[in-house]
Amino acid sequence: MDADITLTVDGRSRTLKVDTRTTLLDALRERLAVTSPKKGCDHGQCGSCTVLLDGRRHLTCLALAVAYDGAEIVTADGLAADRLDPVQEAFLEHDGFQCGYCTPGQVCSAVGVIDEAKQGHPSHVTDDLEGDVELSDDEIRERMSGNLCRCGAYAGILAAVRQVAGR
One-letter-per-residue 3-state SS of 3-19: EEEEEEECCEEEEEEEE
Give residue 101's identity as a one-letter amino acid code: Y
**Which residue, 98, 78, 76, is CA-closest to 154?**
98
Residue closer to ligand FES by CB (options 41, 155) is 41
**Which residue, 63, 10, 55, is CA-closest to 39?**
63
Q: Does 98 bind ligand FES (CB under 6 A)?
A: yes
- Near ligand FES by CB under 6 A: residue from 5, 27, 28, 47: 47
Q: Does 48 bind ligand FES (CB under 6 A)?
A: yes
- Near ligand FES by CB under 6 A: residue from 77, 89, 101, 158: 101
Closest distance between ligand FES and the C-beta of residue 124, in Å? 19
- Near ligand FES by CB under 6 A: residue from 14, 31, 39, 118: 39
Q: Does 90 bind ligand FES (CB under 6 A)?
A: no
DSSP 53-116: ETTEEE-SSSSBGGGGTT-EEE-HHHHTSSS--HHHHHHHHTT--SS-SSHHHHHHHHHHHHHH
* Residues contacting ligand FES: total by CB under 6 A: 23
| Contact residues for ligand FES, defined by CB under 6 A | 39-42, 44-49, 59, 61, 97-103, 149-151, 153
